[in-house]
Structure 1
Amino acid sequence: MRIAILSTSPTLYSTRRLREAAQQRGHEAIVVNHLNCQVMIEGGKPSVLYEGQELTSVDAIIPRIGASATDYGCAIVRQFEMMKVFTTAKSQAISRSRNKLRSLQVLSKAGVELPKTVFANHPKNGNVTRLIELVGGPPVVIKLLEGTQGIGVVLAETAKAAKSTIEAFYGLKKHVLVQEFIAEAKGADLRAFVVGGRVVGAMKRQGIEGEFRSNIHRGGNAVPVTLTADEEQTAIEAARALGLKVAGVDMLPSDRGPLVLEVNSSPGLEGIETATGLDIAADIIAYVEDKIRADESDMVGV
């Protein structure tokens, strides 16, 4: 089988591990920089060009699309779908998961439990105070819609600080989400790695002292964890709701059960593999093998 890993760099940990896992299982694995791909559109013969040459004989793709290249990356993935090439993440699912507001709306409709969140179009004066009250009052978490890896996420501990932060973001023409703060999480969250409708690994991420964000990129640490049945089911349902077959589901433990924060369509492998010692990359390749052998339905283009 010939597998194309869509990634901007072959040296990135996740890209390297996926390539190694594919080769160890007897497959040809190539790294394709999706930013250097071109879409060729003509009647009845969709194709993808890479560095001027048509990409042929690709059985499956594994998209590793960064947030800054979502639109272009999704266009490339969509073209492979038109060519009936199997993908571990459909273009629509990637796009849906990248939009924080849209993903929360989809998860809410599916009945997945979430922190209370409010979004509004540049409210004025007393309306800002009302937004804060709607999520239970301070402290509140304020998130930029386009933020990633904890960037653009602010904890406002007082109503005054929250109001100032929200108004500052609006002054910069930025859209924000205002979200309730889950104090009982104590700066920790859970990352469940879902592959093909099952959790293949999980870790607990703890923020450094004085930091409410638990992202490893922000200095947090991670340890392996065994999820409760409720946590595992929540992760699976969240990935399914967004149409993602490979996903990292971030959850906050709370007094009312696990609350989903975000579902990542290109979850990094380094943190989860280092924390758990599991070969998550091999699980992804095994999923590709199983789907291509047994389930042609996922290969139908959009």
Structure 2
Amino acid sequence: MNIKILSAAPNLYSTKRILEVAKKRKHNIEIINHTKCDIVIEKKNPCVYYKGKKIENVDAVIPRIGASVTFYGTAVVRQFEMMRCFTTTESMALVRSRDKLRSLQILSRAGLGLPKTIFTNYSKNVEGIVDQVGGAPVIIKLLEGTQGIGVILAETKKAAESVIEAFNNLQARVIVQEFIKEAGGADIRVIVIDGRVIGAMKRQGKEGEFRSNLHRGGTAEVIQLTDEEETAAIKAAKAMGLDIAGVDMLQSSRGPLILEVNSSPGLEGIETATGIDVAREIIKFIERSV
């Protein structure tokens, strides 16, 4: 099978692992930097050029699109779709997953548990916003943030009001969420592929850190999901239209609460923590689908 990985970072663990597994399974696979692709739009003849050469005879693409290049990366994925190539992440699902606010609205409509969240158009009623999510402490998130960047814990009402006002003055859009104390600075990352849970890990933030991201020094261990947590993860991926997803959730007194559904989940943390060959499951998914 002729497969292309769309990645601007060929040395990343996830990209290298997918490449390695695909080669072992006798596929013809190549990494293409989607930011260097040229899209040619022509009646009944859509095509993509890379390094001056037309890309042809592609069976499947695996988008590994960074958040900073979502717009152009999505355009490249859409062009491959027009060329009738199978993609492990559809362009519309990729766009949805990168819009934090839209994602939460979709997950809410699907009936999934979420931390209570407030979004406003630079409202002056900052005190009311904090009260509506249950008072301090609260989590304040930049809509564009990734990997824990742009996420702030405001421990007092005064601190929360100051942070929100500062972001409003900078015209930086934020969402304000209730703080789930019983989660204890930990969350769960679940990998869902083709409607099935492949593996899950519990990520714990380092001492004094409320963010559990491994990039920020958090630790991870394998976890056995409850039936409710497994169902929530599968339902969240389906609601977002993602065949491959990293679903982040909190354990709370009212059940699992979905934080985010990631369309390009990293493989290093989950493979190291669980010992599961997630890259192999991605390639097997393509084999079943094409």
TM-score band by shorter chain is over 0.9
Unaligned runs of 5+ in 1: 293-302
Unaligned runs of 5+ in 2: none
CA RMSD of aligned residues (A): 0.6
Match of 1:148 in 2: 146
Task: State how far apart, in whole Å, the 2-side matches of 1:226 and 1:113 are.
Answer: 19
- Superposed CA deviations along residues 77-117 of structure 1, whole A, max 9, x for unmatched, are 00000111000001110110001001001111111111000
Q: Which aligned segments of 4 or more residues in structure 1 are displaced greater than 4 angstroms?
A: none
Displacement after TM superposition at 1:9 (Å): 2.3
Displacement after TM superposition at 1:10 (Å): 1.8
Displacement after TM superposition at 1:155 (Å): 0.4
Task: State how far apart, in whole Å, the 2-side matches of 1:213 and 1:115 are.
Answer: 15
Match of 1:123 in 2: 123
Match of 2:273 in 1: 275
Displacement after TM superposition at 1:237 (Å): 0.5
Write out aligned runs for 1:1-302 (5 A): 1-124=1-124, 127-292=125-290
TM-score (norm 1): 0.95
Task: State how far apart, in whole Å, the 1-side matches of 2:49 and 2:238 are.
Answer: 31
Task: State how far apart, in whole Å, the 2-side matches of 1:24 and 1:203 are.
Answer: 26
- Superposed CA deviations along residues 38-81 of structure 1, whole A, max 9, x for unmatched, are 11000000001111111011100000000000000000000000
Task: State how far apart, in whole Å, the 2-side matches of 1:237 and 1:166 are.
Answer: 32
SS in 2 for 1:253: strand
SS in 1 for 2:255: coil
Task: State how far apart, in whole Å, the 2-side matches of 1:184 and 1:10 are.
Answer: 39
TM-score (norm 2): 0.99
Indicate the percent of aligned positions where both proteins have the same amino acid.
Answer: 62
Task: State how far apart, in whole Å, the 2-side matches of 1:118 and 1:9 are.
Answer: 35
Match of 1:295 in 2: none
Task: State how far apart, in whole Å, the 1-side matches of 2:108 and 2:232 are.
Answer: 12
> Number of paired residues?
290
SS in 2 for 1:211: coil
Paired letter, 1:211: E
Displacement after TM superposition at 1:235 (Å): 0.5
